[in-house]
Structure 1
Amino acid sequence: MLQSSGYRLLTNSSQDEIELVNGSNGLRVRGRGAEHQADVLGELAYVPPFSLPLRMFVEAKCYRSTPVGLKEVRNAHGVIHDVNQNWAASHRTGRPRQRYHYLYSLFSTSGFTAAAQEYAQAHQLVLVDLSAPAFARLRRRLTSASSEMLEAASSDNLAEFPLTAVRAVIRSRLGTASFARDQGPQLPLAVNLHNTIEELVSFVIEDWRAKMLLGFPAAPIVLAMFVPAIDAAIAALSENPVQHVRLRHVGATDTAGTWVASSQDGRVEFRFTLPDRIESWIMADPDEYRARRAAFKNAFLSDITIVYSDEGDVRIFKLVYDASDWHQS
């Protein structure tokens, strides 16, 4: 998702020996008081005007049913504050040194508590909720793959699960490691476990890797957007980078389900969800529901920026919502 949204992945300290450190469990970033592990670290391929170069921490949580709570979000705030303070604590030599502004995004397959959402918004942390119906197939496949890997390791009579090796092989196959996909580590994995990993990787590459993009609305949230027909959508956006779209709810009721942004000809379609606290406010008063939904769409979803990168070619698209375009809404 980060690669498709204009970020290059940082996976090895050789990419920045001043701020990055190779740790036993993966890449670490130096902070003012400690080093901090990053599940994923990305650097935006271009520098926004009047800004430092941007780097994005990604923390991934995959709990069975419990929403991510305040503890995890507080930890994210502490990490990003410490990392952004590292430059201020460095010894000055007069030698020019690159400086970055670090951001933090927390992904969860089980959503977030109300307290976590409030805290994240107050401290400008990005929460990406993958508990929506649009991501159900992805969640099911990841859950089944985890169980299959444990069973495969057991059937291969492994004394303990080879987590480090499995992680390295998956990243090699996906091309997200510091080495090329066909030059990955030749780690000895048992046959059953190796086959299970290959099935998971094939699913991610063929079904999901190119279908998830990030959307940036005029609101303190980031939208994880599922794109059912990515090739058609990108082709249409390339022809017309500013697409006027309709915004609507789809689901069991008028006030539940996924949001859909779609163009009139149907070539462009993005599916996403809003944070629970926003949905709760919209739905709190049945008499005011339609007015609140319209007000939120006009104020916060009227202009959604999509950054798309393909082999280093970074393009910026916009999804524009104007109620006057859709008299039937």
Structure 2
Amino acid sequence: MARIGGGQLAGYVLEEIVAWMLLSSGYKLLTRAADDPDELVAGPNGLRVRGRGAEHQADVLGELIYVPPFSLPLRMFVEAKCHKSGAIGLAEVRNAHGVIHDVNQNWASKPHHGLPQQRYHYLYSMFSTSGFTHDAQEYAQAHQIVLVDLSTPSFKDLSMAIRDFARQLADAWVGDEFPTGWVRNELRRLLGTDLQATGGPANGALAGEILGGIVDDFAAFIVDDWKARMLLGFPAAPLILPMLVTDMAATLDALAQRPLMRVRLRHVGETETAGSWLIESSEHRVQLHFSLPDRIERWIANDPEKYRARRATFKQLLSDITIVHAAGQDVQVYRLVYDAADWRRG
């Protein structure tokens, strides 16, 4: 690979971080064709998934380690975009829908021999540090593509750290061919994602000498800072909520004692670090902060006369949030339930 742009490299880095997020949310990472020879193929640029009409690149592919009742096993394609500017548009989301439609029909092209076929239900999530256009969001909602907007205030420092890291790497490298494979492998080793090696460059020793310290420092920032701050929430809505906590150990301890926790949900407005929504338990032992995409926030706030009604409407979509937390093979499921009748204000 020739000289690499900072945006492209930042996208690769974000993919590694999202893979790490999946591990703590109850997913195992599928990394090799040997993990499922019937469905997966080793391609020239990494893992591919067989579809009915084509094979599709899977930069990050996770499988939920338990099967939801009355459902097929769930697998998740993850795509990460780290553009400095310019929201992700309709074309990228339309491509995601085409991929999912094809892989979910791959069983139709297989010969049948009387035995039940193992099938999976594939989903697609797209993470973006520059948000998504209105058309992209509308299309994604219609076709059940999950968009995760990392342009919100809660993730400002993470997005900046990724871009700074990519720029440091690009500036430090002196050769013509940037060692992308080496960087990704090192991040996987340090983050513990154990993804398949992408094929290190012949000058891997030089890469370690020049870039090793930069990669070590960034991985330490991710593990030490973000692992202690973030949980993913899954509401009954086409959203994933990356939620920040102030004390992870106390939060997990409280959730373990009350796996179904009744909470208060408040729209607290824009802040520099906390985002615009707050979830807290009645005893105030748990506090989680999250932000919503600008499009939703604008809809809620742009008409003062309808603000309270719109806020109440959206709270209903967030009234039952599932948190799946995994530490190795120990997977726990918690629910945060909000009922307006339980609160005088909110």
Same fold, TM-score > 0.5, yes or no: yes
Alignment of 1:211-230 (within 5 A): 211-230=229-248
Question: What secondary structure, in the 3-state scheme, does the structure 1 residue paired with 2:278 have?
Answer: strand
Residue matched to 1:21: 41
Q: Note if 1:48 corresponds to 2:68.
A: yes
For 2:150 and 2:190, locate their aligned partners in 1 and report how far apart those are by CA, in whole Å. 23
Question: More displaced, 83-92 or 169-178?
Answer: 169-178
Alignment of 1:1-329 (within 5 A): 1-154=21-174, 158-178=175-195, 187-188=204-205, 189-252=207-270, 257-297=275-315, 299-329=316-346
Shift of 1:252: 4.5
**226 and 22 in structure 1: CA distance in 2 versus 1, 3 angstrom threshold:** farther
Letter of the 1:260 counterpart = L
Structure 1: 5+ residue stretches without partners: 181-185
Shift of 1:3: 1.2
Question: More displaced, 219-228 or 126-135?
Answer: 219-228
For 1:308 and 1:238, locate their aligned partners in 2 and report how far apart those are by CA, in whole Å. 11
**190 and 44 in structure 1: CA distance in 2 versus 1, 3 angstrom threshold:** closer
For 1:39 and 1:273, locate their aligned partners in 2 and report how far apart those are by CA, in whole Å. 26
Question: What secondary structure, in the 3-state scheme, does the structure 2 residue paired with 1:289 have?
Answer: helix
**118 and 196 in structure 1: CA distance in 2 versus 1, 3 angstrom threshold:** same
Structure 2: 5+ residue stretches without partners: 1-20, 198-202
For 1:301 and 1:230, locate their aligned partners in 2 and report how far apart those are by CA, in whole Å. 21
For 1:229 and 1:222, locate their aligned partners in 2 and report how far apart those are by CA, in whole Å. 21
Asked whether the equivalents of residues 129 and 224 of structure 1 are also in contact (C-alpha less than 8 Å), the reply is no
For 1:315 and 1:166, locate their aligned partners in 2 and report how far apart those are by CA, in whole Å. 32
Question: What secondary structure, in the 3-state scheme, does the structure 1 residue paired with 2:212 have?
Answer: helix
Shift of 1:99: 1.0
- Normalising to structure 1: TM-score of the pair? 0.91
Question: What secondary structure, in the 3-state scheme, does the structure 2 residue paired with 1:308 have?
Answer: strand
Shift of 1:233: 0.8
For 1:271 and 1:250, locate their aligned partners in 2 and report how far apart those are by CA, in whole Å. 10
Residue matched to 2:5: none
Shift of 1:179: 6.6
Question: More displaced, 205-214 or 256-265?
Answer: 256-265
Question: What secondary structure, in the 3-state scheme, does the structure 2 residue paired with 1:8 have?
Answer: strand
Asked whether the equivalents of residues 114 and 276 of structure 1 are also in contact (C-alpha less than 8 Å), the reply is no
For 2:227 and 2:270, locate their aligned partners in 1 and report how far apart those are by CA, in whole Å. 28
For 2:228 and 2:29, locate their aligned partners in 1 and report how far apart those are by CA, in whole Å. 16
Percent identity over the alignment is 59
